Structure 1
Amino acid sequence: MSLKRFGVSLEDDLLESLDQYVEENGFSNRSQAIRFLIEKNLAEKKWQCNHIVAGTIIIMYDQIKKEIASKITAAQQNYQDVILSSSQYYVNQNFCLHIVTVLGTAHRLTELSDRLTTIKGIKHGKLVMSRAD
C-alpha cells in the first residue's frame, strides 16, 4: 500500500544536501532517496534491538605488515560462533582484502567488526548487515 502525503518542508541547506545525496548515489528522485534513508534507519534500529542479522566485514590492509594478519586471526578466535567464513584476497603486492561472512546478533557482529577495524594498520574497514530473522 502506498500513501502520498504532502507538506514536508526542509531548510534550503538540507534540501541542497539531499539533492547532492540523490546525485551522488544515483537515485532517480528525492522520494527514492528519502525512502532508502528511512528504510536504512529502520534496519539500523532493528540492529540495535539485537535481532539476528547476516553480513560481511570487509577490511583492507597492507600485507607487508605481517603482524596485522596475526592480529586479525587472534581477534577472530573469540568470535567463531558468528563467523561463517573468512577469506583473503591479494589485491596487489601491497594490499590484502579480508572478507569475513558473519551471522549472529547485531551486537555481537558489531563487536567483532569494531575489534577488526580498529587493529592498527587497517586502511579501511566496514560492516554491512541485513536482518536475517
Structure 2
Amino acid sequence: MQRITITLTDEIVAELDRFMAESGAQNRSEAIRDLVRRALLARPEAPETSPCLGVLSFTVDQTTRNLGARMSLRRLAQHDRTLAALSVPLDHSTSLEVEVARGSVGAVRAGAEALFLERGVAHGALALIPVAEAGPRHSHAGEAGHEHSHTVVQTSFVPKDGAS
C-alpha cells in the first residue's frame, strides 16, 4: 500500500465526512479508497479506439484566473471534435457548461479528464455513447450539397474486430 497526500476543499472534506458517517467508513483513508474504487469501476469498459460521442457536463468558476481563455483555446484546439457547446450562466461567477464531442473513446475520455482537472472546473461528468458511421459516403438524389455519411447510435461498444 502507498501513502499519498491530497488537498481537498473544505466543502469536499465536509461531504467526505458525511459519506463516512453514512457508509460506516472508519477513517478518511478508508472512505477515499472506497470512493476511488467505485469511480474506477463505474467507468464504462470500451476499447480506446471505439468511436463515440461524449457528453461532458461541468461547472466553471468564471473568476478563476485565465480559465476563460484556456477554455476557449481548448475548444479551438479541438475544433474537429467539438460538435456543440452550451454555456448556462448560473450566477455572477458560475456557469454550467455542456459539450458534445466526437472521436475515439480514448481521445474523448482524455480530453474530458484533462478538462475536469482544470482549477475552477467542478462537477465534471462524462457520458459515452457508442456510435458507428453508417454506410459509404453519399449524397441524396436531387439535392445540391456535399457528400456525407451518417452517425448511428449503437447499443454497446464493440471491439473493432467484431469479437465479443
Give the AA of the match of 1:52: P
CA distance in 2, matches of 1:116, 1:44: 19
Report the TM-score, using the length of structure 1 for normalisation. Answer: 0.60
Runs of 4+ in 1 over 3 A off after TM superposition: none
Say if 2:62 is the partner of 1:63: yes
Identity %: 13
Say if 2:127 is the partner of 1:128: yes
Q: Give deviations 1:3-49, integer Å, cap 9, x for gaps.
A: xxxxxxxxxxxxxxxxxxxxxxxxxxxxxxxxxxxxx97x9222x34
Cα deviation, residue 92, structure 1: 1.7
Give the AA of the match of 1:99: V
Q: Which sections of structure 1, spanning at least 5 residues, go unmatched?
A: 1-39
Q: Give deviations 1:36-89, integer Å, cap 9, x for gaps.
A: xxxx97x9222x342111121112021223521111112222221211011211
SS in structure 1 at match of 2:119: coil
Task: Look at both structures and tell me which one has the larger radius of gyration over its CA atoms.
Answer: 2
CA distance in 1, matches of 2:65, 2:48: 37
Cα deviation, residue 101, structure 1: 0.7
SS in structure 2 at match of 1:120: coil
Partner of 2:90: 91
SS in structure 2 at match of 1:99: strand
- Residues 30-45 of structure 1 aligned to structure 2 (within 5 Å): 44-45=44-45
CA distance in 2, matches of 1:98, 1:76: 12
Partner of 2:50: 51
Partner of 2:71: 72
- Residues 96-115 of structure 1 aligned to structure 2 (within 5 Å): 96-115=95-114
How many pairs are equivalent?
92
SS in structure 2 at match of 1:44: coil
SS in structure 2 at match of 1:55: strand
CA distance in 2, matches of 1:131, 1:113: 16
CA contact 1:87–1:100 (8 Å) conserved in 2: yes
Bigger mean CA offset, 70-79 vs 107-116 = 70-79
SS in structure 2 at match of 1:65: coil
